[in-house]
Amino acid sequence: MSDKKKPWFWNVALVLTVIICAVLLLSHYKNWITEKPQELRIISGFYHVSLPYKDLDSVVWTAKLPPMERLHGFSALQKEKGVFREFKDSLTNKKVYVFVDNIAQQKIKLVYRDSSYLFLNLKDSTATLALFNRVLGKMPLKEPLN
C-alpha cells in the first residue's frame, strides 16, 4: 500500500471552479426581465439595470447596434451583452447598456434620462414585440412645449 497523500485541495478547487463557471454561464443564458408597476428591471448575469418608466423618453425599434466601444461585456454566438460607450461620445463616458439575445433580430432602443441608451431584445421575436408594446404603453405622456 502506498501512503501517498491525495491532493484533495486541488480536487476541491477544480470542482468549485467548474461549478462557478457553470452558474455564471447559466446566469448569462438569457435576459431576466421583471416588470413592476413603476419600473422595468433587466438582469443578465453581472449586468443589471432598473429603469423607472417615468424616466423613459422614447421607445423605438432599431435594426443594428451603433458603432460602440466595449467597456466590459461579451459576444458569444448570437448574444451581445455588457456595458459599452459610443464612439462619438467617448469624452463624456456615458454608458450604453446592451442586452441582446439575438443579434440578427430587431432591437428595442430605450432612451432614458434625456440621453442614456439601452438596447434590448429577447431570443423570441414575438416576446420582444410583446415587451415593446408593454413598455410603450407604460411610457409617460410628454407635454408639448409652447
- Output the CA–CA distances (angstroms, integers) from residue 97 to 6, 29, 120, 146, in the order listed: 47, 17, 8, 33
Query: How crowded is the C-beta side of 134, counted as CA atoms within 13 Å?
Result: 14
List per-block mean pLDDT (blocks of 10 residues) for the chain, which spans 146 residues: 73 93 79 88 87 89 89 85 77 81 91 86 91 87 61
| pLDDT confidence of residue 143 | 61
3, part of any domain: no
> For residue 106, is it within any domain?
yes
Longest dimension (CA), the chain: 92
Residue 145 is predicted with a pLDDT of: 55
In a domain, 56, yes or no: yes
Say which CATH number the domain at 80 has. 2.30.29
pLDDT of residue 46: 81
Number of folded domains that form the chain: 1
What's the pLDDT at 141?
A: 72
Inside any domain, residue 146: no
Q: 115 is in which domain, residue-wise?
A: 8-138
Q: Is residue 50 part of a domain?
A: yes
pLDDT for position 109: 93
- pLDDT for 130 equals 93
pLDDT value, residue 77: 82
Q: Which among 31, 34, 41, 49 has a CA at the least distance from the CA of 97? A: 49
Could you list the beta-strand ranges (E) of 18-114: 32-35, 39-44, 47-52, 56-62, 68-76, 79-86, 96-100, 107-112
